[in-house]
Structure 1
């Protein structure tokens, strides 16, 4: 029997013009419909998860670490004062491949409102970062208040929307940041600093909005202990996904040798992006299982259909 005739006969078996009813044929059609219905939601979930992962990746790179992040040693003279930190940032800015830099001081603290407390990551940044940084200006939305007070250099803070909701804060309200410092005898003692909410912002993701509190970078040197703070410079490049980022990292490391080390965004967020990758792999694996089970159902239905038509097949082969 020729190949064309075989395909024609297979078509007539599954989609006959007329003839007796066949339970096997119904099983084949049912299996095909089931696999289609099963795969559609998985494809939709995979597409939505890809979009969410891409959105989170862009926000993590643009708002958190930058394409590169130079982490300065606490023992370095570059972190002795805010002026020295700016000088270190200017040195990095002159490196080939660097588009812009933003010095930052990070402190883990306890934020206390009138009736609730929550842990936050205090990020001491330049006031201009909300305007000059492309990711900050694109992703951060001002929900209430303004950045004028933050730019004035006073003890004003920009709070994430989720943190403000947790602490019941509005622009103009005050809250306390409780940090730690080393006492004269080496004991760790708490230190409380009062800040006024200048603005409430949202990045679009509650996980990030519940984590960050922004204060002016020069204010951090007045209340934060050097031993409990981290000093870094967020570095922007033309394309964080290009291979050129490794060349730029090498040049930055050469420039700040002895003062700190530069890392790429993928190194700083390796565990999180591995979690994203494993989620996508799991979704693809589940989709493959569904297709495999459906393929077994279709093959068994086809076997039943062939067994029903053994007489017709024998006649055709004899002919």
Structure 2
């Protein structure tokens, strides 16, 4: 142990008659610990929510969507060729045709705008988790006879079903296409369906607008012939979406095809979560900054208390740089001890929440029973470095003032 570190450890304890200084030092350590703990817990919760949202979105949507520029449909022959190509593309584990269009859906007494997603029930499970998310009924688009009339099946998002009061399997709804051409006098195509099931993705923005039907019904409703609008792709690793997209479009398909990754399809949501995370870091870092100011005040008081001892040390040959190091080491020790305690507390709280779920959430609102947490060791490392750095930075001014004391005047100081 170096001489400077040894003295710094001794200086953490004030004289008994001025124990108030030690109290301030302990408060500084406590402030750093609380700040570090708060940051670790807050970031773990945000990481947990981000993971939960990403998991639900990736379960509801494909990793990549492929379509054409400026053209409404991909023909059946083109779609078959693309699907065959995808079978031999690295990292692709599933692909399915799809149609996305906007329309209006109405029950007997209510109506609502809807995003219609037409899927192939035989292959849709390869790219999404829609089968696992069926809350009521089943994913069934087959034609059934109800009260003497034949209807195709449709599956509704749970909140969309609530909005139009079609919450039961067998309820009759009408879907109208929104004409893109023809102006005010264009006539929409209307088709009647029975509710085959309700799906709950767990993301409100999806569940309040999405309805699902067969590709054949959508082709008739939107006059698409045998075409589709998108090919949806699932990968073995969603992080490789951008690389696979570039390979498909640039090396194999070319113009007029383009593709969007899962991140691009929900860019605003992920950007919002990133900004919120940065905001939380900035706000909670203020706790550590307050603790840093406490470090400044406590070290200034230590310098005042130890003025005579500093003078004796300098008269015995201690250099100004050694005195500077003593108080910088003291600031480091305050930051290190506070960071260590805060990390232990933060880890303990996060660990307890992860395994014991002592903070619960209403499942009907959040669709999860407990507050989600995800600990990342990179967060621990970054927070610890910031806390110790601010503590050391705060010690520079009092350390500099101590190093500039004149030995003769310091020894005479009472």
Q: Which position in structure 1 is the counterpart of 2:113?
A: 119
- SS of 1:301's partner is helix
The alpha-carbon distance between structure 1 residues 85 and 104, as it changes in their structure 2 partners (threshold 3 A), is farther
Normalised to the residue count of structure 2, the TM-score between the two structures is 0.63
Tell me by how many angstroms 1:30 deviates: 2.3
Instruction: Name which of 76, 97, 100 aligns with 1:106.
Output: 100
Q: Which position in structure 1 is the counterpart of 2:135?
A: 143
- SS of 2:17's partner is coil
- SS of 1:55's partner is helix
What is the CA RMSD across the aligned residues, in angstroms?
A: 3.3
Q: Which position in structure 2 is the counterpart of 1:304?
A: 301
- SS of 1:273's partner is helix
Distance 2:157 2:123 in 1: 16
Tell me by how many angstroms 1:270 deviates: 3.3
Q: Which position in structure 2 is the counterpart of 1:193?
A: 191
> Which aligned segments of 4 or more residues in structure 1 are displaced greater than 6 angstroms?
183-186
Tell me by how many angstroms 1:93 deviates: 2.7
Q: Which position in structure 2 is the counterpart of 1:3?
A: 4
| Matched positions, count | 306
The alpha-carbon distance between structure 1 residues 158 and 88, as it changes in their structure 2 partners (threshold 3 A), is farther
Q: Could you say which structure has the higher strand fraction?
A: 1
Distance 1:221 1:307 in 2: 84
Deviations 1:78-123 (A, max 9, x none): 34xxx44652543443442233211110011233334443332110
Gaps of 5+ in 1: none
Normalised to the residue count of structure 1, the TM-score between the two structures is 0.80
Distance 2:157 2:171 in 1: 14
Tell me by how many angstroms 1:314 deviates: 4.5
CA contact (8 A) 2:136 2:169 kept: yes
Instruction: Name which of 205, 208, 211 aligns with 2:206.
Output: 208
Distance 1:21 1:166 in 2: 69
Distance 2:68 2:7 in 1: 72
- Equivalent residue runs for 1:27-38 within 5 Å: 27-38=24-35
CA contact (8 A) 1:73 1:260 kept: yes
- SS of 1:69's partner is strand
- Equivalent residue runs for 1:151-170 within 5 Å: 155-168=152-165, 169-170=167-168
Distance 1:133 1:92 in 2: 16
Q: Does 1:40 align with 2:37?
A: yes
